[in-house]
Amino acid sequence: MPETILFHPELLDTHFIVDVRTPLEFAEDRLPSAYNVPLLTNEERIEIGTLYKQQGAHLARIRGLELTAGRFPEMMREIASAANGRPILVYCWRGGLRSKTVASILDLTGFPVKQLTGGYKAFRNQVTAYFEDFQPNAPLVVLHGMTGIGKTTFLGILERRGESIVDLEGIACHRGSAFGSLGLSQDHLTQKRFETLLWDRFRKLPPEKLIYLEGESRRIGRMTLPGNLYDVMGESIKVWCTASLETRVRRLSDEYGLRAYEDGLRESLLRIKKRLGGDKYAEIAGYLEHWQIEPFMTELIVSYYDKLYYKVREWKEDLTLSLEEFESAAEVLVKEVQRIAP
């Protein structure tokens, strides 16, 4: 019989992870770097589950064997090829029959394999617990500032300089504003998947090194910051970033002023029509209709974004930073934050 093992993050780095659940289960969420070799199709799992409830485990298992036995040789070849000599860790939903079946056949054919105790559910419990009492390995440095300042771009520059960053908007596939979905899509992303990706990002950061991330609300598009992450960010080092209106307009125009986004811009503008008011909406829509991007972005900033975000700040920043020029700002930030970090 294959060895069973409790989940530990180190397994992700030492084993080839095989998920034998259905494609639908896999799409909802999975262990980082997991490779899907489903034992049952989506439809077959429903059939087996119905049979189990109506006629019992014995007949359900016989039917499961009828459906899957012919697949075993090809499954073994696929797993062996993908594993490429690495030890294998197999899991299913709760560490039950599906993972036990595949792991047993791998073991019988001589492959180094373990079965994950508790399956995906045990892993999911660890992710949930991690964020319920979120305690980062190093202080967080949270970048705040008005829309268009370039905080996401700035995070990328910090990362290229060797700093630890967490791009919340990148992981959430949304920029966190009314126009934040342009060029991105959360259609493939579930809340569980978002939390797993976020957990994995924090896991991979070197310990005791400051972690930079962008200030967000509790929600980024359809995703919600898990556990007490939002509260921890509120208690962390806060940097207020600034840039001129001209710089913000230019950066927003560069990011969003693409013809490919024209329909999306129009749809997003319509969603905020009520907040803008009829006359202001008509004015801004006119700029978009004639593809006058700079006045369009200027009015969005002045008449919408700056009236909505950071209207009231109940906190005082630890540091103010100009983002007019990214590289010099990065040098200043790293030096100043190291001075004030606990």
Determine contact, residues 284/243, Cβ cutoff 8 Å: no
Determine contact, residues 41/25, Cβ cutoff 8 Å: no
How far apart, in Å, do the first and last CA atoms of the chain sit? 51
Q: Residue 164 and residue 205: Cα distance in Å, rounded?
A: 6
Pairing of strands 88-91, 140-145: unpaired
- Could you tell me which of 69, 71, 74, 80 has the C-alpha nearest to residue 107? 80
Q: Residue 131 and residue 6: Cα distance in Å, rounded?
A: 20
Q: How many CB atoms lie within 10 A of CB 259?
A: 8
| Active-site position among 31, 92, 140, 293 | 92
Cβ neighbors of 60 (< 8 A, separation 6 or more) are 48, 49, 51, 52
* Annotation marks residue 92 as catalytic: yes
Q: Residue 109 and residue 4: Cα distance in Å, rounded?
A: 17
What does the longest C-alpha to C-alpha distance in the chain come to?
74
Residue carrying structure tokens 């989940």:
7
Amino acid, res. 251 = R
- Partners of 141 in the beta sheet? 212, 237
Q: Residue 161 and residue 170: Cα distance in Å, rounded?
A: 19
- Could you tell me which of 318, 284, 303, 326 has the C-alpha nearest to residue 245? 303
Sheet holding 319-322, edge to edge: 164-166, 211-214, 140-145, 237-242, 319-322
Pairing of strands 113-116, 16-19: unpaired
Determine contact, residues 175/152, Cβ cutoff 8 Å: yes
Q: Provide the annotated active-site residues.
A: 92
